[in-house]
Amino acid sequence: MEDLNNKRKGEVWAIGGAKGGTGKSFLTSSMGTYLALKEKRVVLIDVDIGGANLHSFLGIKRPKKSLTNFFEKKTPLNKLLVRTSIGNMSLITGDIHSLSSDNIKFTQKLKLFRHIMKLNTDYALIDLGGGSHKNTIDAFLMADKTIAILEPEITAVENLYHFVKNALFRKVRMALRAHGFKEMLEHVWNRREKYRIKNLKELIDWLKGSFSYIEEILDEELSDFSLYIVLNKVRTTQDIAMGASLKSVIMKYLGIKTKYVGYIEYDDSIWRSLRNGRPYMQNYASTPCAKEIETIAENLLEEKEIKILKG
């Protein structure tokens, strides 16, 4: 695979989640605004499946140019940038034809990410949309920071678990395939009862314990697999504490370290700001919600997490 670090400019953050309506676009636009107001150059990229609406959170009209121009007419990304009301923040919008389609080949996706990485910006924030779609997972795996936002409900936790599991399996499979061991992974997984393997973590441990060369490959590939978690629309301290349960479930069954970077409380002024076409972080800067978003962005910048309360 070609070197993606070649001429790399800014840092790429991907914001996703296993479900729709959890606040991905709100978080992407709000963190982008916060970073831009801190004098960082920011590009927001909307690749939401079927419903690109990031522009609405910025109070601007749906741009005419979209990623379809990139895929179909080879328009360079910097020609698709649309200005927002904040000086050093611009937007590239997707649409139903862009990443949502299974017709987008892996090579095209790689090309898109290579171009995103070369954008002349400090931060490229990608609003991924929901679901465990293969394209969403690939985008997740290619970003520098992957942020999952979810609501504190038990179904959301299950969805996230499955999303991370799919992403991890895809990563392991791609790594082993690149070294010619794809069949081995499938062979062992299909006979997992015989090998007394109950989950993906045990599969990975089994492979690593059986073959030292596979251990080396997986250690290398998985060392940078991390996930940042944000809980949205929280109402109680129990809701906030759910971040801790999530961390331990993902560690126990998948062996993946996560950082709980923060939560955002439920706030009715968010839909009001959306309806009035006024970016939230500019117009509600002193609300608890805005402060919580600042904390999340700062934690992401510094790779820190919030203290976990026992629920």
Question: In this chain, which stretch among 40-48, 61-69, 117-125, 208-216 interacts with Mg ion, using CB under 5 A?
Answer: 40-48
Q: List binders of ligand ATP among 192-221 (CB under 6 A).
A: none
CA 26 from chain centre, in angstroms, equals: 13
- Rounded to the nearest 5 degrees, what angle is found at the Cα of 86, between the Cα atoms of 83 and 90? 35
Of 106 and 266, which has the nearer Cβ to ligand ATP? 266
CB count, 10 Å around CB of 271?
11
Q: Is 274 in the site for ligand ATP (CB under 6 A)?
A: yes
Note whether 24 binds ligand ATP by CB under 6 A.
yes
Strands 89-93 and 42-46 come out as parallel
Count Cβ atoms below 10 Å from residue 128 Cβ, excluding itself. 28
Q: Is 215 exposed, middle or buried (0-12, 13-18, 19+ CB in 10 A)?
A: middle
Determine if 55 is a binding residue for ligand ATP (CB under 6 A).
Answer: no
Report yes or no: 209 and 196 within 8 Å, Cβ to Cβ.
no
Show the binding pattern over residues 115-144: x = contacts ligand ATP (CB under 6 A), - = does not: --------------xx--------------
- The phi and psi torsions of 121 (rounded to 5 degrees) equal -155, 165
Q: Which does 271 bind (CB under 5 to 8 A by kind): ligand ATP, Mg ion, none?
A: ligand ATP
- Give me the least distance between CB of 238 and ligand ATP, in Å please: 17
What CA–CA distance (Å, rounded) separates 201 from 247?
14
Nearest approach, Cβ of residue 161 and ligand ATP (Å):
18
Contact 31, 125 (CB under 8 A): yes
Decide: is 280 part of the binding site for ligand ATP (CB under 6 A): no
Closer Cβ to ligand ATP, 29 or 69, answer by number: 29
Considering only the stretches 23-31, 66-74, 154-162, 247-255, report the one whose residues sit in contact with ligand ATP under the rule CB under 6 A.
Answer: 23-31
Which of 46-54, 155-163, 187-195, 243-251 is the region at the interface with Mg ion (rule: CB under 5 A)? 46-54
Residue from 169, 225, 215 nearest 192 by CA: 169
Using CB under 6 A, pick the residue from 267, 283, 287, 298 that binds ligand ATP: 267
Residues forming contacts to ligand ATP in the complex (CB under 6 A) are 20-26, 48, 51, 129-130, 232-233, 264, 266-267, 270-271, 274
